[in-house]
Amino acid sequence: MRAETPHPAIIQLVTGHFHERKGYASWRTHGTNDWLLVYTLDGRGRFGYTDGEIIAQPGDMVLIRPGTLHDYGVEPTRHYWELLWTHFHPRPEWHEWLDWPEEAPGLMRLCLEDRDIRERIVAAFFEAHHLATGALRRRETFAMNALETVLLWCDTQNPRSQQSRLDGRVRLAMDYLCRNLAEKITLDTLAERSGLSVSRLAHLFRQQVGMTPLQFLELQRLDRARQLLELTSRSVQAIATELGFDSPFYFTARFKRQTGLSPRAYRQRRREGQASSTGAATRAASASVTSVGTGES
């Protein structure tokens, strides 16, 4: 019978960066009560399951569900395996990001083929490890934030995720639009940025996003306008200029068409709503204090 590999107690997460030689292996018959995430930096690792095994190569991220057999180590024909790993308990909102393609029950893998995204993931994984093993008083919480970044970028590469179904060139176009709200962007410029012809970009964008690039740009501008109206005292004209609208009158017309309110009316309604909520909270707190003071329950 194989000896069980010890497992540390996990509160939020434990991380490691290992350089393992031939013969290294871990075996846990019933796995652990946390999730295990392993990224192969160099060499090869193997992950066994009842009817076979996964050979993890550089760029492969393997995820193991709680309660799943742990049978992993250096791939027998190799002498070396460099890996980043973390045992973690996911935050509640993370679970939908952990629905990866299964190669065996509870054993999942993503092959990170996009070089830029792979580099982002590796950098965030190293950051999580450095924070988790550092001297900060809240080091585990800092590390969990970095791990969240890892999982969010992995979600863009997960074929089961809606995010990953977007063509990478469409994502480039969307990102460029979101980062340049004030610019006068033409389809020619956007096509050049995304590496597509104008006609191909227009077709793919509408097919995958459900609107044209310029409609998407206007939607992002109006969404940002709502934020600026709520959170700042900038004038309608200043907001229109900042977001690339030709005039405050055109901005007002487009904003009203989208929201049903002019920018000024929208700002006023939001402020009245916030004042009402604050007043209600104050009255509730006052009533609670009075209740305690009079002995009421």
* pLDDT tens figures, 229-279: 998 999 999 999 999 998 999 999 999 988 889 999 999 988 887 766 656
Residue 294 pLDDT class (50, 70, 90 cuts): very low
The predicted structure's pLDDT at residue 7: 78
Which range among 34-43, 169-178, 280-289 shows the weakest confidence by mean pLDDT? 280-289
* Chain segment 1-24, per-residue pLDDT in tens: 688 898 777 789 999 999 999 999
Choose between 293 and 201: higher pLDDT.
Answer: 201
Residue 189 pLDDT class (50, 70, 90 cuts): very high
Coil, strand, or helix at residue 104? strand
Q: Please give the distance of CA 233 from its chain centroid, rounded to a whole number.
A: 31
Question: Does pTM top 0.85 for this prediction?
Answer: no
| Mean pLDDT value of segment 202-220 | 87
With tokens 């939020």, the residue in question is: 12
Fold for 166-269, please state it. Answer: Arc Repressor Mutant, subunit A (1.10.10)
The predicted structure's pLDDT at residue 66: 92
Say whether pLDDT at 142 is over 90.
yes
* CATH number given to 13-164: 2.60.120.280
Choose between 260 and 40: higher pLDDT.
Answer: 40
Within this chain, domains 13-164 and 166-269 share the same CATH topology: no
Residue 164 pLDDT class (50, 70, 90 cuts): low
| Mean pLDDT computed over every residue of the chain | 89
Choose between 162 and 242: higher pLDDT.
Answer: 242
In this structure, the dihedral spanned by the alpha carbons of residues 202, 97, 114 and 169, taken in order and rounded to 10 degrees, is 10
Show me where the domains of the chain are located: 13-164, 166-269
CA gap 286, 4 in Å, rounded: 59
Write down the H helix ranges in 71-132.
115-132
According to DSSP, the residues that pair with 48 across neighbouring strands are 53
Angle at 132 between CA 15 and CA 22, to 5 degrees: 25
- Return the biggest CA–CA distance within the chain: 78
The predicted structure's pLDDT at residue 152: 96
The predicted structure's pLDDT at residue 282: 56
The predicted structure's pLDDT at residue 162: 66
Choose between 291 and 187: higher pLDDT.
Answer: 187
Nearest to 153 by CA among 195, 129, 122: 122
* Chain segment 73-96, per-residue pLDDT in tens: 999 999 999 999 999 999 988 988
Number of H helices, E strands in the chain: 9, 10
Say whether pLDDT at 116 is over 70.
yes
The predicted structure's pLDDT at residue 170: 87
Angle at 226 between CA 271 and CA 202, to 5 degrees: 165
Q: How is 213-273 classified by DSSP, letter by letter?
A: HHHHHHHHHHHHHHHHHHH----HHHHHHHTT-S-HHHHHHHHHHHHSS-HHHHHHHHHHH
Q: Contact 107/54 with Cβ under 8 angstroms?
A: yes
Nearest to 225 by CA among 187, 185, 182: 182
Report percent pLDDT > 70 for the chain: 90
* Top-confidence range, 28-32, 48-52, 124-128, 203-207: 124-128
CA gap 190, 175 in Å, rounded: 10
Residues 6 or more apart whose CB falls under 8 angstroms from that of 3 comprise 27
